[in-house]
Amino acid sequence: MEAKKDTTEEKILEAAKNVFVAKGMEGARMQEIADEAGINKALLHYYFRSKERLFESIFAGIIKMAFPKIMGIIQSDSVIVTKIELVIDAYIDLLIKHPFIPGFVMKELNRDPSGLFKLVVKFGLNPQIVFDQIQEAMDRGEIIRMKPQHLTANIISMCIFPFAARPILSFVMFRDDPVALEAFYAERADVIKQFVIRAILVNNNHIDT
């Protein structure tokens, strides 16, 4: 019985993710989610009483996938260059496995950012820790000086944009060739790491990854 319950819940979450990505939380309807999951609306309400609870479950799942690993890297004793490389690997791996995330998050940020911010805070992400570590590495002379916020934004942007702009990249750069597009994504982590590390090292003697 428990296994069936888990399967049904997984089907609902997958269906809700698809509907939310297509229409955003505001535009989504519980009936549409039930239809997508192949269940009746009463069963949907048995598992999740509202769209808000469904949305929170989906986004919480995303955060649980990403944040513990990334925060573990950030809180480790590794040098800043190694941390940057590992975070990029983790970020790109997450986006390859779940390419819907950028579009999903951007729609909700445009609709109502407060809900997302509350969930992020709830799961313990503290950007100031990242900024402080970057600043300390600059003070030690390990990397060039810039605002830590700029470096963080640069890295996140290079990771997210190719996935957020997937339809554009597919059509303009790869003529809708899915094999070429996936090969591009598979190379992305190494390309970003090399670009970032070469740009920020005081002495460009880091071994290419």
Domains and CATH numbers, the chain: 1-49 (1.10.10.60), 59-200 (1.10.357.10)
User: Two tokens at 48?
Assistant: 């999740």
**Residue among 31, 30, 36, 35 nearest 50 (CA):** 30
Specify the pLDDT at position 206: 47
The pLDDT, as a whole number, for residue 4 is 53
Task: Write out residues in the chain with pLDDT < 50, as ranges.
Answer: 1, 205-209
Which letter, b or e, does each residue of 175-204 get, where b requires 16 or more Cβ atoms within 10 Å of its Cβ?
Answer: eeeeeebeebbeebbeebbeebbeebeeee
Predicted local confidence at residue 123, as pLDDT: 67
Distance CA 201, CA 186 (A): 25
| Listed residue (110, 28, 126) closest to 70, CA to CA | 126
Q: Which amino acid is at 117?
A: F
3-state secondary structure of 176: coil
**154 contact partners, CB below 8 Å, separation of at least 6:** 196
Please, are residues 189 and 96 in contact by the beta-carbon 8 Å criterion? no
Q: For residue 170, how many other CB atoms are within 10 A of its CB?
A: 16
Residue 98 C-alpha from the chain's centroid: 8
How confident is the model at residue 105, as a pLDDT?
A: 77
Nearest residue to 39 (alpha-carbon basis) of 81, 91, 85, 4: 4
* Residues 6 or more apart in contact with residue 73 via CB below 8 angstroms: 83, 86, 87, 90
Dist. CA 122–CA 78, nearest whole Å: 26
Spatial separation of the C-alpha atoms in residues 163 and 98, rounded to whole Å: 10
